[in-house]
């Protein structure tokens, strides 16, 4: 049984269109807070903080600041990888990779957080759903430079195959760009997770507005 808070958070995630994934490595030297604010001004409602090269202390301090900014902007905050830091900073959820904490263990210590899982096959997606994930991410769909992974690009077929089998929301990630959004929609994707297409845009707000208009076509 979902807690009321988790249910509320899950409903907000399900209403997401653009899912911004942000870390200082891919902002062209700009503050992640400035990029976040510009994306929120353009309509982004869900963001994942993903920093891979900070100490636990540094990441906790950053996450606490990030949480306050998300609250100010009315944005749902997902923490990448770290259940403990997600709890410490008051994040809305945590996104776990295949090698991170098992979903059942994460749920025991974080009953109110929404839990997402990275998946690279239909089987992994269905397994995560059965284990209580609130959403899964399918990817990489296309080649990507923002994350080193041994997984080959999966292509659009995984969306077509997984979509009718999943009863929870799913996002797609990996090489998602404005130009390939129509084919992602045609394959059945609705929540698109992006890094550089947004975070490295010269005008983040304008880029966000332009891309979000594509959902209405």
What is the arithmetic mean of pLDDT over 7-20? 98
Give the alpha-carbon dihedral of 60, 65, 69, 75, to 10 degrees. 0
> At what angle are helices 204-212 and 32-41 packed, to 10 degrees?
40
Give the chain's domains with CATH numbers: 4-216 (3.20.20.70)
What is the arithmetic mean of pLDDT over 193-203? 97
Q: Quick one: pLDDT at residue 8?
A: 98
What is the arithmetic mean of pLDDT over 21-35? 96
- C-beta contacts of 180-187 below 8 A and 24+ residues apart: 180/142, 181/211, 181/214, 182/214, 182/217, 183/156, 184/141, 184/156, 184/159, 185/214, 185/215, 187/156, 187/157, 187/159, 187/160, 187/163
Please say if the pLDDT value at position 58 is more than 70: yes
Q: Quick one: pLDDT at residue 216?
A: 77
User: Taking a C-beta distance cutoff of 8 angstroms, is the pair 98, 135 a contact?
Assistant: no
Please say if the pLDDT value at position 63 is more than 90: yes
Determine the Cα–Cα distance for residues 154 and 99; give it in Å rounded to an integer: 19
Please say if the pLDDT value at position 214 is more than 90: yes
Question: pLDDT band for position 146 (50/70/90)?
Answer: low
Tokens representing 46 are 């869900």
Tokens representing 75 are 């944005």
Tokens representing 137 are 């991410």
Determine the Cα–Cα distance for residues 46 and 95; give it in Å rounded to an integer: 12
First-last CA distance in the chain: 36
Please say if the pLDDT value at position 147 is more than 90: no
pTM of the full structure = 0.96
Q: Quick one: pLDDT at residue 87?
A: 98
Q: Quick one: pLDDT at residue 148?
A: 60
Please say if the pLDDT value at position 167 is more than 90: yes
> What is the residue-averaged pLDDT of the chain?
96
Q: Residue 203 carries which DSSP code?
A: S
**What φ, ψ does residue 3 adopt, rounded to 5°?**
-70, 160
**DSSP run (H or E) holding 114:** strand 114-119
Q: Quick one: pLDDT at residue 149?
A: 62
Please say if the pLDDT value at position 59 is more than 80: yes
Q: Residue 52 carries which DSSP code?
A: S
Question: pLDDT band for position 1 (50/70/90)?
Answer: confident
What is the arithmetic mean of pLDDT over 51-78? 96
Q: Quick one: pLDDT at residue 189?
A: 98
Q: Quick one: pLDDT at residue 175?
A: 96
Question: pLDDT band for position 139 (50/70/90)?
Answer: very high
User: Taking a C-beta distance cutoff of 8 angstroms, is the pair 83, 115 a contact?
Assistant: no
Q: Helices in 18-149 by DSSP H: which ranges?
A: 32-41, 56-73, 83-89, 103-109, 122-130
């Amino acid at each position: 049984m979902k807690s009321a808070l988790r249910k509320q958070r899950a409903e907000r995630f399900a209403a997401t269109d653009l899912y911004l994934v942000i870390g200082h490595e891919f902002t062209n030297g700009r503050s992640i807070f400035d990029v976040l604010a510009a994306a929120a001004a353009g309509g982004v409602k869900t963001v994942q903080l993903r920093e891979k090269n900070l100490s636990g202390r540094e990441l906790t301090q950053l996450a606490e600041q990030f949480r306050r900014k998300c609250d100010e902007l009315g944005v749902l905050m997902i923490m990448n990888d770290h259940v403990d830091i997600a709890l410490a900073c008051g994040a809305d959820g945590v996104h776990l990779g295949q090698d991170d904490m098992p979903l059942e263990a994460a749920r025991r210590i974080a009953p109110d957080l929404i839990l997402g899982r990275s998946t690279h096959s239909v089987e992994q997606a269905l397994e995560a759903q059965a284990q209580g994930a609130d959403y899964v991410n399918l990817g990489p769909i296309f080649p990507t430079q923002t994350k080193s992974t041994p997984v080959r690009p999966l292509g659009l077929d995984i969306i077509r195959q997984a979509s009718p089998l999943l009863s929870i929301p799913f996002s797609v990630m990996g090489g998602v760009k404005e130009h390939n959004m129509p084919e992602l929609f045609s394959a059945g994707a609705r929540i698109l997770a992006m890094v550089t297409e947004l975070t490295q845009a010269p005008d983040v707000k304008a880029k966000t507005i332009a891309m979000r208009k594509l959902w209405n076509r």
